[in-house]
Amino acid sequence: MSGDSLSLDSFGFSKEEIILLTSITYHGILSEAGQSTSFSRLRKYFRSEVDNNVEQSAYRAKKREWAEQWKDLTCKLLEINGVIDATALSDALKKLALSEAKRNAMIVELSTFEPYFDLSNGKSWRDLRYDDADRSNYFSFCSGKTGNALSFPKAYSEFNDCAKKITKSIAGPNWTWAWIGLGAAVLLITAPYLAGAIGGVMGLGGAAATSAGLAFLGGGSLAAGGLGITGGYFALMAGGAILGYGAGSKDYKDRLKASSKEELLVSCSKLYAVTRISTVSNLNKIEICKRALAMQTDYEAEADSMFVNSARSEGQKTDAKALVVRAFRRVMRGDL
């Protein structure tokens, strides 16, 4: 894309584009599951080949079962009829004619997806692992459909790099924000929310169902912040909610300000990853910093009011959010 093409439109995904994102994610997980050898760490070296083959087959089958359940729940929550067939993904992508900017946003969403979180209380999935080889297989499938093979590991690496820099800069002497890895950070955001969403899945509808479905895709409630902000938008993905802060309504701003510091961390890091795999001019970076500064200023004003009115606990939470956004701006301008 050109250096000046990164805008709010780059992050606004229509329902058709969300369906494509869901479909590529689902088929990518299935592809990874069919090749996975992460079923056992050291134990597989001390078992017979027959026993290893049996365990590996069962392990791969359980991963495929997770993928099916994830797909069914996601489609239900997003209120879509199903996913696109694997053989039709390339044609569907071509038909949508995504801009390079939006394709990069999709790559960031795909590359930062972490599968195998618990889907319900009925069955444990905690024995399913997702190691570097699994991730490489997943990236290989996704890049085969979207192109830009080198962008997937780069997006993943840049996302983690930004999150670590933000975390380190605000951790403080007690290291209260010690970095615990991408998967743990994402699960920290999605797991409590998804637990309630899954339990009441049949009772959800409209915006509530969509919000839950987007959380299944890794976007969380920040992604759902795009609902209704601009005509035709279904969601703002890959950190676009930060870019949309200055253009949104009061309700939209309030929704973003209510997000947790962990959600902000992930959203800021995704937005940074998009800029790192794109050709982005300094003008784009300055505009991103301006939008983030407006959000930071509002957080700090709210924190001031809370502290002055003796709501110290809430003030500390809000102040932490301001620190996340400030650290993100420092990363964007190359100060961290």
Instruction: Give one DSSP letter per residue of 173-199, joined into a string.
Output: TTTTT----HHHHHHHHHHHHHHHHHH
- The label of the residue with tokens 């026993």 reads 51
Angle, alpha carbons 175-118-128 (nearest 5°): 90
| pLDDT at res. 106 | 93
Residue 156 in 3-state DSSP?
A: helix
Q: Phi/psi at 236 (nearest 5 deg)? A: -100, 120
Q: Phi/psi at 171 (nearest 5 deg)? A: -65, -40
Contacts of 287 (CB under 8 A, 6+ apart): 243
**Helical spans, DSSP H, in 129-260:** 132-146, 151-170, 182-199, 206-216, 220-224, 240-243, 250-257
Contacts of 115 (CB under 8 A, 6+ apart): 29, 32, 66, 67, 70, 128, 130, 138
| pLDDT at res. 156 | 93
pTM of this prediction exceeds 0.75: yes
| pLDDT at res. 325 | 94
Which stretches in the chain have pLDDT values below 70? 1-6, 41-51, 120-122, 172-205, 220, 225-232, 247-249, 280-283
| pLDDT at res. 124 | 79
Could you tell me which of 208, 249, 258, 256 has the C-alpha nearest to residue 229?
249
**Per-residue model confidence as pLDDT tens digits over 223-275:** 776 666 555 677 888 888 888 887 666 777 887 778 888 888 888 999 999 99
Query: H or E stretch including 265?
Result: helix 261-276
Question: How crowded is residue 66: how many other Cβ atoms within 10 Å of its Cβ?
Answer: 20
Q: Residue 19 in contact with residue 71, Cβ under 8 Å? A: no
Dihedral of the alpha carbons of 133, 134, 138, 140, in degrees to the nearest 10? 20
| pLDDT at res. 96 | 93
- What is the C-alpha to C-alpha distance for residues 189 and 221, in angstroms, rounded to an integer? 9
